[in-house]
Amino acid sequence: MKPGFQRSSRSGFTLVEMSLALALSLGIAAVIITMLSQQVSFARALGEFRFLRDDAPQVNTLLTNIINKADNYRIFPNLDSAKSLTGAVRSDGAAIRLRFRHPDGTTEHAIISFESSDSGQELNYYFRRKNQNDWPDLPSWTISRQPTSVTFDNSTGILLITLTGSSGDQITYAGNPD
């Protein structure tokens, strides 16, 4: 060893090693940011179609059970027409009137109606028992507040119920022909 120079016991990284470590760190950070961005966009898309994912299957099950128990149905443009049995239509109806015949020959009636109310748009169910003469003013219960539009159609001979969500997402259910 030359005089005046001392060998250091410390070891360090070379410039190439530091550059390589920095490049790997930046690459890993870029991959993590990309994956996080994809997760956020996927969650946003999933949220937009929440109606189709969460509410529409339950509405389908409920409507299927109710309509399959009816022995007859008629489509009307609105709730008042369905209550008074006037102005039946084959397509673009907002209400459907159902008749349920019992084994003793008596009947009960129900109306499923899409309508606007003070709390927003609702798909409501009205039920009139066989001993009642008048329809109730308030729905028996609300099926859903999620759809922005519900139409009943029988122009093809098959009952079609189209529900539209707030993002424009649409689903159509087909029922048994009458």
Kindly report the pTM of this predicted structure.
0.73
pLDDT tens-place string over residues 59-78? 888 988 898 899 999 999 99
How many domains does the chain divide into? 2
Percentage of the chain lying above the pLDDT 70 cut: 93
Same domain? For 149 and 121 the reply is: yes
Question: 99 is in which domain, residue-wise?
Answer: 50-174
Two tokens at 83? 């209550």
Q: Which helix (H) or strand (E) holds 21?
A: helix 15-48
The pLDDT value recorded for residue 178 is 47
Same domain? For 56 and 141 the reply is: yes
Which is more confident, 176 or 42?
42
Q: Is residue 8 part of a domain?
A: no
* Surface-to-core class of residue 147, CB atoms within 10 Å of its CB (0-12 exposed, 13-18 middle, 19+ buried): buried
Domain boundary pick from 48, 72, 90: 48
Two tokens at 159? 């009952």
Which is more confident, 69 or 176?
69
Evaluate if residue 175 carries a pLDDT over 50: yes
Q: What's the CA dihedral at 50, 55, 57, 63 to 10 degrees?
A: -150
Same domain? For 120 and 76 the reply is: yes
Same domain? For 149 and 104 the reply is: yes
The pLDDT value recorded for residue 48 is 77
pLDDT tens-place string over residues 65-123? 898 899 999 999 999 999 999 999 998 999 999 999 989 888 899 999 999 877 788 99
Same domain? For 62 and 31 the reply is: no
Same domain? For 79 and 164 the reply is: yes
Assign 29 a pLDDT band (cuts: 50, 70, 90).
Answer: very high
**Average pLDDT for the chain:** 87
Evaluate if residue 50 carries a pLDDT over 90: no
Q: Is residue 6 part of a domain?
A: no
Same domain? For 68 and 22 the reply is: no
Q: Which helix (H) or strand (E) holds 153?
A: strand 149-153
Q: Is residue 3 part of a domain?
A: no
The pLDDT value recorded for residue 53 is 80
Do the Cβ atoms of 175 and 159 come closer than 8 Å? yes
CA 89 to chain CA centroid, Å, is 26
Distance CA 123, CA 57 (A): 14
Same domain? For 57 and 69 the reply is: yes
Percentage of the chain lying above the pLDDT 90 cut: 43
* Terminal Cα distance for the chain, rounded: 105
- Angle, CA 48 vertex, CA 57 and CA 160 arms, to 5°: 40
pLDDT tens-place string over residues 152-164? 999 888 899 999 9
Do the Cβ atoms of 95 and 89 come closer than 8 Å? no
Residues 29-44: what's their mean pLDDT?
92
Same domain? For 149 and 137 the reply is: yes
